[in-house]
């Protein structure tokens, strides 16, 4: 025999059901066909900001503006249709209203409940404000990404630079329009098929591998590694290369290489941006040819004018004093012009890397001694004393004596011409950490802070140098730097404005030891 049900069994089930309903976060509201609210869960009270009393028995329009109520009505009509199908409909998203009058967007679905068809309906209301906001955010982000992608694409395709990206194995994954124009290949024939090695000469790759091995202290294979070795270590890698156009002609470029990294910071590939230097090279060559031609053309007539002036000046007795003075000025100006023409020709040789050096063992002290002697008349004309004691001992170095004399003469003549009258210029030779050091110290105006970084540049002269009548071309130090560096040495200066300068150059032990 079945035991009779416990007296509070129904009550317990109702309480259990209510507890389940109250544990969900969606609002659950039971309505009758007249849209009066019959029951609801705790989430409904919280979502609409209403107490039990302000919900129970009240009409649904309390919670919704008229368009939403119409949407609900239509849904109920579907549920109570003649074939009583379906049991549930999605009423869709609609605005609903809190007790304080604020509205939010809710997703509403309704199902039929109750024993009599069409007497009771359960409405499940989900607040979709956050998912809407997330969606809006996502949409805004997508728009931004699309904009930035289109910007990148426009820049990538519009730039005249060749942009080539590769994966870690060296396969080309990006070959922009600039690369197509510069190198004559179509992107399709390069993408995922070729590596950048096909754009380079083997010899240049091999030379770069040796250079990188020395610089990084690890063996760098002469292959794709030459493009990745520095950038994968986070080092800047920008240098000139000669690429090969599809038709075989060389294309000089300035190529800068960077590593691409994924979210985790791992290297995922490399990108190279190449700037075509062909036009710049052509212009440089034209300028250099022009300068060389003009300078050569100037040198021959200048030599003959100078010869004529000196011939006339030699017969001083036949000249009046003003005429002799004029010849003296003309001779000085000829000398200045000759120096300038020679400087320009030297500079042009340096630029073309065609300056010849005849390096042999020489006594550096003797070279300096000769430079000082040759400038003695110049120092006298400025009333400047040159303090130089040729040191005892062996100061042998492997140098081009003529070129090192040129450097010493330049430093010394600068020191003399920038020194106050009756002051002293001190020339010294000694040992330095790197080899031998020659220094020239003066008590002149010093080098202004803002001029220091430019002083070794071509045609560099401090603002007032010309005005004070020191003359010169602003080329001497640029030439001296190139000569010293060609010997593997360094040139520099220390200076305090108003307290003079010390210019020096150092020749490395190798050239000294080789002697």
Give the binding site for ligand ADP (CB under 6 A): 410, 414-415, 418, 442, 444-445, 447, 455, 460-462, 465, 472-478, 501, 503
DSSP letter string, 158-195: H-SSEEEEEETT--EEEE-HHHHHHH---HHHHTTT--
CB 284: neighbour CB atoms within 10 A? 13
Based on CB atoms, which residue is closest to ligand ADP, 26 or 343?
Answer: 343
> Nearest approach, Cβ of 376 to ligand ADP (angstroms)?
18
Least distance CB 387 / ligand ADP (angstroms) = 15
How open is the CA angle 467-504-291, to the nearest 5 degrees? Answer: 55
Give the Cβ contact number of residue 419 at 10 Å: 23
Shortest distance in whole angstroms from residue 227 CB to ligand ADP: 39
Report yes or no: 429 and 389 within 8 Å, Cβ to Cβ.
Answer: no
Q: Decide whether 178 or 444 has the Cβ nearer to ligand ADP.
A: 444
382: which 2 tokens?
């400025």
Report d(CA 69, CA 60) in Å as an integer: 7
Which pairs from 253-259 meet CB under 8 Å and 24+ separation?
A: 253/162, 253/182, 253/277, 257/227, 257/228, 257/230, 257/231, 258/231, 259/228, 259/231, 259/232, 259/234
- Shortest Cβ 476–ligand ADP spacing (Å): 3
Q: How far is the CB of 164 from ligand ADP (least distance, A)?
A: 41
Q: How many CB atoms lie within 10 A of CB 8?
A: 9
Contacts of residue 172, defined as CB under 8 A and 6 or more positions apart, other chains included, come to 164, 165, 166, 190, 191, 192, 193, 194, 195, 196
Q: Cβ 384 to ligand ADP, closest distance in Å?
A: 11
Burial of 237 (0-12, 13-18, 19+ CB in 10 A): buried
- In this complex, which beta carbon is closest to ligand ADP, that of residue 222 or of residue 476? 476
Distance CA 242, CA 374 (A): 45
* Nearest residue (CB) to ligand ADP, 224 versus 418: 418
List of residues 6+ apart from 385 with CB closer than 8 A = 379, 422, 423, 424, 425
Residue placing its CB nearer to ligand ADP in the complex, 396 or 480: 480
106 or 477: CB nearest ligand ADP:
477
CB 24 within 8 A of CB 127: no
Smallest gap from residue 465 Cβ to ligand ADP (A) = 4
Least spacing, CB of residue 427 vs ligand ADP, in Å:
12
If the CB atoms of residues 200 and 441 are measured against ligand ADP, the closer one turns out to be 441
Between 21 and 411, CB nearer to ligand ADP: 411
Please, which residue, 230 or 417, has the CB nearer to ligand ADP? 417
The least CB distance from residue 469 to ligand ADP, in Å, is 12
H helix and E strand count, the chain: 15, 17
* Alpha-carbon gap, residue 163 to 176, rounded angstroms: 6
Residue 364 in contact with residue 404, Cβ under 8 Å? yes
Q: Which residue is nearest to ligand ADP (CB)?
A: 472
Nearer to ligand ADP, 269 or 476 (CB): 476
Q: Which one, 156 or 337, has the nearer CB to ligand ADP? A: 337
Nearer to ligand ADP, 144 or 454 (CB): 454
> Least separation, in Å, of the C-beta of 420 and ligand ADP?
11
CB of 447 to ligand ADP, least distance (A): 5
Q: Smallest distance, Å, CB 206 to ligand ADP?
A: 38
Quote the tokens at residue 315: 């017969």
Instruction: Give the shortest CB-159-to-ligand ADP separation in angstroms.
Output: 38
Spatial strand order of the sheet with 267-276 comes to: 172-175, 162-167, 267-276, 250-261, 237-244
Judged by beta carbon, residue 42 or residue 423, the one nearer ligand ADP is 423
Q: Which of 505, 358, 353, 490 is nearest to 428 (CA)?
A: 505
Residue among 124, 127, 161, 118 at smallest CA distance from 271: 161
3-class secondary structure, 378: helix
Q: What does the alpha-carbon distance between residue 27 and residue 47 come to, in Å, rounded to a whole number?
A: 7
């Amino acid at each position: 025999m079945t035991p009779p049900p416990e007296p509070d069994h129904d009550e317990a089930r109702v309480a259990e059901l209510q507890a389940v309903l109250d544990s969900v976060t969606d609002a659950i509201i039971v309505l009758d066909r007249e849209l009066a609210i019959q029951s609801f869960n705790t989430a409904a009270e919280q979502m609409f900001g209403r107490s039990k009393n302000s919900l129970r028995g009240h009409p649904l329009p309390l919670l919704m503006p008229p368009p939403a109520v119409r949407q609900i009505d239509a849904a109920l009509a579907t549920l109570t249709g003649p074939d009583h199908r379906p049991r549930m409909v999605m009423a869709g998203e609609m605005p609903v209203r809190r007790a304080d009058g604020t509205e939010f967007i809710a997703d509403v679905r309704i199902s039929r409940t109750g024993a009599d068809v069409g007497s009771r309906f359960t409405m499940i209301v989900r607040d979709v404000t956050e998912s809407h906001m997330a969606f809006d955010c996502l949409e805004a982000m997508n728009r931004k990404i699309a904009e930035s992608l289109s910007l990148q694409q426009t820049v990538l395709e519009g730039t005249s630079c060749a942009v080539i990206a590769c994966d870690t194995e060296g396969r080309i994954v990006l070959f922009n329009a600039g690369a197509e124009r510069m190198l004559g290949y179509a992107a399709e024939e390069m993408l995922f098929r070729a590596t950048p090695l096909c754009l380079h000469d083997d010899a240049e790759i091999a030379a770069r591998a040796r250079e990188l091995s020395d610089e990084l202290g690890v063996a760098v294979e002469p292959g794709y590694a030459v493009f990745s070795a520095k950038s994968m270590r986070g080092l800047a890698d920008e240098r000139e290369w000669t690429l090969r156009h599809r038709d075989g002609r060389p294309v000089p470029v300035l190529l800068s290489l960077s590593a691409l990294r994924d979210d985790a910071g791992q290297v995922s590939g490399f990108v190279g941006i190449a700037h075509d230097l062909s036009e710049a090279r052509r212009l440089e060559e034209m300028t250099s040819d022009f300068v060389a031609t003009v300078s050569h053309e100037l040198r021959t007539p200048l030599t003959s004018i100078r010869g004529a002036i000196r011939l006339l000046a030699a017969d001083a007795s036949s000249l009046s004093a003003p005429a002799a003075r004029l010849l003296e000025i003309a001779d000085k100006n000829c000398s200045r012009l000759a120096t300038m023409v020679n400087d320009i020709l030297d500079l042009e040789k340096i630029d073309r890397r065609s300056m010849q050096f005849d390096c042999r063992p020489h006594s550096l002290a003797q070279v300096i001694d000769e430079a000082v002697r040759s400038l003695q008349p110049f120092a006298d004309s400025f009333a400047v004393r040159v303090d130089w004691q040729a040191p005892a001992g062996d100061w042998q170095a492997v140098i081009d004596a003529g070129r090192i004399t040129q450097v010493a003469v330049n430093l010394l003549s600068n020191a003399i011409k920038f020194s106050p009258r009756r002051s002293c210029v001190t020339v010294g030779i000694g040992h330095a950490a790197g080899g031998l050091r020659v220094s020239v110290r003066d008590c002149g105006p010093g080098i202004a802070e803002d001029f220091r970084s430019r002083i070794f540049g071509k045609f560099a002269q401090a603002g007032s140098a010309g005005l004070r009548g020191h003359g010169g071309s602003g080329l001497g130090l640029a030439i001296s730097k190139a000569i010293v560096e060609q010997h593997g040495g360094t040139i520099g200066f220390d200076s305090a404005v108003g307290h003079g300068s010390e210019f020096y150059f150092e020749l490395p032990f190798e050239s000294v030891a080789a002697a």
